[in-house]
Amino acid sequence: MVSATSPLKMLLPPVWASVLLGLLVGFLPLVGMEPTGEARPASDHHPPSPEPLLPTSTSSSNCSHESEAHLTLKLEFSTKTVQHEYIVGFTGYFTAKARSLYISSALRSGGDGALEWHIVPRENPAADFPSDFELLHMRQASPSSLLALEDHPYIKRVTPQRKVFRKLKYIPSPEPPAPNSTRGTQRWQSWQSSRPFRRTSLSLASGFWHATGRHSSRRLLRAIPRHVAQILQADVLWQMGHTGAGVKVAVFDTGLSEKHPHFKNVKERTNWTNEKTLDDGLGHGTFVAGVIASMRECQGFAPDSELHIFRVFTNNQVSYTSWFLDAFNYAILKKIDVLNLSIGGPDFMDHPFVDKVWELTANRVIMVSAIGNDGPLYGTLNNPADQMDVIGVGGIDFEDNIARFSSRGMTTWELPGGYGRVKPDIVTYGSGVRGSGMKEGCRSLSGTSVASPVVAGAVTLLASTVQNRDLVNPASMKQALIASARRLPGVNMFEQGHGKLDLIRAYQILNSYKPQASLSPSYIDLTESPYMWPYCSQPIYYGGMPTIVNVTILNGMGVTGRIVDKPIWQPYLPQNGDLFDVAMSYSPVLWPWAGYLAVSISVAKKAASWEGIAQGHVMITVASPAENNSEVDGELTSTVKLPIKVKIVPTPPRSKRVLWDQYHNLRYPPGYFPRDNLRMKNDPLDWNGDHIHTNFRDMYQHLRSMGYFVEVLGAPITCFDASQYGTLLMVDSEEEYFPEEITKLKRDIDNGLSLIVFSDWYNTSVMRKVKFYDENTRQWWMPDTGGANVPALNDLISVWGMAFSDGLYEGDFTLADHDMYYASGCSIAKFPEDGIVIAKNLKDQGLEVLKQETAVVEGVPILGLYQTPSDGGGRIALYGDSNCIDDSHRQKDCFWMLDALLQYTSYSMTPPSLSHSHSRVPPPKGTERPLPQRLEGNHLYRYSKVLEAHLGDPKPRPLPACPHLSWAKPQPLNETAPSNLWKHQKLLSVDLDKVVLPNARAYRPQVRPLSPGESGAWDIPGGRIMPGRYNQEVGQTIPVFAFLGAMVVLSFFVVQLTKAKSKPKRRKPRIKRPTYLQQQTTTTATTGKTPTV
């Protein structure tokens, strides 16, 4: 029999431990662990899709504890030129009557009396106000009619109307596939890409390429699950009485229901679509508005802000450029302060749209836009977030990792001649963020369309904290955000911009701000890794192509400004600043609120054999006209310093230097340049810039790791000294060639330069087959070239008896014990007899596209190596497919082959694995099939730097002059340079030590009571409703009480254990135990004390 008190001793620890555990479990969620509810799809109506849709579930307002499904929002979108419709832009704002008179007058002067035209009537709020554009419907408009319109003095531009179609489909996120498993499976893989894709038939019967896919225009960015306003410490500003009051914020999205319980200050809802509803049928616009201004459950940043809802997408997810233009004009008229655009696309050549964005910001509208969901690929920034005057936002998760889906820089506007700007501007939480559901409750989504309203809400809240609102403008707000951002470690600037949003530091800076100019980035340090990638990845040396850094000038003093005199270059003599030169070009006018400063850096001749660090800085003075109500007369001026630090090494040997031809790479926009891999139906446009720091980034990193120095040629072939380089690398070239370039390249190769060419498909029949068709407008969009411009490449290499074919092949094979995949490549049609040619058995993809038939072709020549016969001549290597070195949709890399080819071209070392390969075949003679011809009627001349129109038959333009840099005259400083350029970015006249947070008073946003039947909020004594899960006051006191209660319980438990151990144990006779137990029970009942033995 057991001791009578043993059960009590054994029972005490579990009982008190359970109580303690219960209190602690109740305590933990109050300090940051909030359960996540199930996410719901955006709409009850889904478009037909072969992918499985996520099952619908109801998200109750009291958060469910069930695990949440991982959601991916698959986006398919297209843009088309609408047949017979044109946007006529005017030089100013005119009444409807005046606009009609100008158009009719212009068309009469054109002399086409039979032309049928009419102005498309507006059916939106903008119809009652003057406008700067008109939508014109003209049937069979002749070029003379369009020219007559453009010649009118009050008409600025005539552009086609564009239709945007985007489709949101919620699907379960697939598990990432195992690498290099293409063989034997029908699943496609995504190397460094978040875009899902799979093998499908290429027949038109299966809908092949009837839509332009994902990357042709603006669309709502993925919305794919936490209480973000409090995580970013918005509650600190709430307690100070700042809740967004007095700030007008516009949401351009899918609308909002009238009686949604989360919003109390919806000032206006407007519909700009052709549907007769203001409600949100998809849920995307409601979620975005909730992140900005929800007042309960999933609390927004600025619940007292004035919400203006612009419905610019239909429930069928269709929009038009003209709808946006009218809505933008109305936003200017309503004096909107902050505008959120959770949309984007690669089309920065949609001139009416881009011009209107500039006009918006010029009218002091702070535009916040999502940077895009096309990561982790570089060069995937979306417009308008990539514009200088717009705050472009990237996404991170709650562990401060850059979200995989978040697009990366650089901007591609400036290619091929220059270098892209730093974007995004900042990053913030965009993964698993909670926002308002379509009708009620909350949901959790991910995407940069989530990160964008997080920043828009923060900007709205920050604007409400500034007493002098005249200080708040697009430039000053961006300056405050980027100067206060917290840099993420181990992440480069093209991923994080200036870092993570810091709301409280931004408040401190903004409330001590004085109008001034600043720079982004604020310094150039080519030695700082990894933040300054790619500049830090390769040192500079004498004779190399100048390193170009594109710096953005932000002008917080006014919407327009200028650089006074010229920027001044001041090298530090003690830090060897005289060993490198600087050239600068810059915006003649800073408008709106911003401009560029392009800095070119080159090593002086006297440092050809020197190695070390050199420093200097550039001084820039910006002047801006004083505002009318300013106390300052004349101009405001601000001087900023741009520190520069470089690493110089001796000039490397010729064999180690590789020159990348960027000049002959074209991309979307402005023309339709298709992807190099025809399987990519969801991503058909070649829009990533084809640059070594965008979609060829991995190849560049590999070459650097192998000891090669890679430089970029942004000018014609006639503009470089070939004696300095071992190999010219030409990959996926779409541009034509000047005759002078062909002549010079022949001479350079005869003198020792080598050439490597990676080509791609070009077949006119396939190009006609893969044109895009819009069933609504019945408009076809024809490619301007294939994956590469093979006819132009053949002109370039024909002098050596070489040519590519118009064949189109794909398939898996093994070469030199490496698994390879050929993705929509061409074959070698002609090659010199003494060359080395490798052939493989591949599928005829062209036959599959044209006739929906499958056939395997044996002995397709894909790789050729040739030593030119001249004494000391260079070598040439040809390969018919570039997808194996392109990050966009690479299946299996062929970097090993690139190494082998560079060993051959640079050192004349023929790889034995290729020269003695069993796949070696006699070189083709070019008689098997005709060589490819240019597509008749193509419009390449419209986008080409080489061609120009000439009586319907394009011909080469005159060869342009080579770029000439004007090096700045140095003004040396005999003083020591700063040792660390990266201090936290400070604006002039801002001292954060003096900007302390005032004592927070007890305050929380005013919210209205829930209507009968609503749930999800707790009643608070005094008639107020708890915003979100709990009120700020209660949220701060509950953890304290829980902790004290836990300590009391723990102390009591320790005391009892101490008493039990301090008493001597007595062993009682076994016969008396029942009596003793009875006595002890009686004693316990009367005294309430627990006996010990």
Q: Strands 219-220 and 131-139: what pairing?
A: unpaired
Q: Are 169 and 47 in contact (CB under 8 A)?
A: yes
What's the rounded Cα separation, in Å, for the pair 836 and 816?
15
Tell the residue number behind the tokens 């990792």, with chain if given.
401
Question: Which residue in the list 215, 262, 284, 693 is annotated as catalytic?
Answer: 284
**Are the C-beta atoms of residues 339 and 332 closer than 8 Å to each other?**
no
Q: What backbone phi and psi angles, to 5 degrees, belong to 832?
A: -60, 150
The owner of tokens 């009291």 is 62
Residue type present at position 262: H
Buried b / exposed e along 789-820 (16+ C-beta atoms within 10 A) = bbbbbbbbbeebebbbbbbbbbbbbebeeeeb
Determine the Cα–Cα distance for residues 785 and 942; give it in Å rounded to an integer. Answer: 12
* Annotated catalytic residue within 59, 61, 449, 827: 449
SS3 category, 575 = helix
289: number of Cβ within 10 Å? 31
Nearby residues of 787 by Cβ (< 8 Å), 6 or more positions away:
674, 675, 676, 677, 678, 686, 732, 760, 761, 762, 824, 882
* C-alpha distances in Å from residue 1011, one per residue of 262, 264, 300, 1028, 1082: 11, 13, 20, 16, 56
Q: What is the 3-state secondary structure (H, E, C) of 624-646?
A: EECCCCCCCCCEEEEEEEEEEEE
DSSP state of 692: T
- Beta carbons of 423 and 391 less than 8 angstroms apart: no
449 is catalytic: yes
Alpha-carbon distance of 254 to 232, in angstroms, equals: 27
Q: Roughly how many angstroms between the first and final C-alpha of the chain, as a whole number?
A: 16
Q: State the Cα angle at 195 between 190 and 201, rounded to 5°.
A: 80
Q: Directed axis angle between helix 351-362 and helix 321-333, to 10°? A: 10
Please identify which residue in the block is written with the tokens 């440092």.
607
Distance CA 69, CA 530 (A): 35
Contact, 640 vs 620, CB < 8 A?
yes
What is the DSSP secondary-structure string of 653-676? PGGGEEEEE-TT---SSSS--B-S
* Torsion sign across C-alpha atoms 403, 528, 607, 598: positive
- The contacts of residue 21 (CB under 8 Å, 6+ apart) are none
Maximum C-alpha span of the chain: 127
Whether 284 is catalytic is yes
Cα(650)–Cα(608) distance, integer angstroms: 5
CA–CA separation, 844 vs 855, rounded Å? 6
470 is catalytic: no
Measured CA to CA in angstroms, residue 233 lies from 242, 483, 504, 864 at distances of 12, 18, 7, 62
Could you tell me if 794 and 806 are in contact, meaning their C-beta atoms sit under 8 angstroms apart?
no
Residues near 266 by Cβ (< 8 Å), separated by ≥ 6? 256, 258, 307, 309
Tokens standing for residue 832: 């010199």
Residue 269's CB: how many other CB atoms inside 10 A?
Answer: 18
Exactly one of 132, 235, 253, 887 is catalytic; which is it?
253
As a whole number of angstroms, the distance between CA 401 and CA 395 comes to: 9
Q: How far apart are CA 817 and CA 897, in angstroms?
A: 11
Q: Annotated active-site positions, please?
A: 253, 284, 449
